[in-house]
Amino acid sequence: MKLLCTTTLIDDFRNSSVFVDSTALIHASKSDDFLTLLTDMVGAGCTFYTVPSVVYEYTRTANNLKGYEERLEFIKELGIVVFNRIEELLLKDSKVFLAAYNTEFKKENGGPSYTDSILCTMVYKHRGSDSYVLTSNHKDMPLSMFDRKELITLDISGSFHIEALYQFSEEKFSKVLSKLESQEAKK
């Protein structure tokens, strides 16, 4: 078996919105089983979204124009909607989330990646719906603010990779905000 996940995954995420990270695109391009799973999720009404920095991360290793265009076509074939002008969309009403999100990382680790910060903010912005981030960058998904809803284990050429679907948790976020407000009050 080259892929392991919950047997009800497709039904569990039916009609959901999934913000896809570059890791998922890379793994889908290398694993027919994972690509089939993602295609079946789309067939069940799941909509995939991403941001321009994910497109950049996925296409940047193409060695020539043909490879670059093939990667763009792969994104298109999966039906992934790319949000443009993303910073403008997010910075309007996500400052509190970004401040709380950034406090969840230790400074010596350099903080979260730009792309994962944007993907997490998109899920926060769409928190009233069934929205998730699909990534294998687990270190950038603070479990103090997100719930890990599903793990997908992949065997790609003998190497194991774990993609996960994360959902924003309003309850956890309120605890982070309380802690942040308490720290601010002490200053």
Q: Per-residue pLDDT for 106 more than 70?
A: no
Q: What is the Cα–Cα distance from 138 to 2, expressed in whole angstroms?
A: 21
CATH class of segment(s) 3-186: alpha beta
Residue 80: per-residue pLDDT: 97
User: pLDDT tens-digit profile of 37-68?
Assistant: 999 999 999 999 999 999 999 999 899 999 99
C-alpha pair distances (Å), 115 with each of 72, 112, 149, 160:
18, 8, 20, 23
Q: pTM value?
A: 0.92
Instruction: Enter the DSSP assignment of 108.
Output: G
Q: Going by C-beta distance under 8 Å and a sequence separation of 6 or more, which residues neighbour residue 165?
A: 13, 18, 132, 133, 134, 148, 149, 150, 152
User: pLDDT tens-digit profile of 65-95?
Assistant: 999 999 999 999 999 999 887 777 776 778 8
Strands 17-20 and 131-135, how do they pair?
A: parallel
Q: What is the Cα–Cα distance from 2 to 158, expressed in whole angstroms?
A: 9
Over pLDDT 70: what percentage of the chain? 95
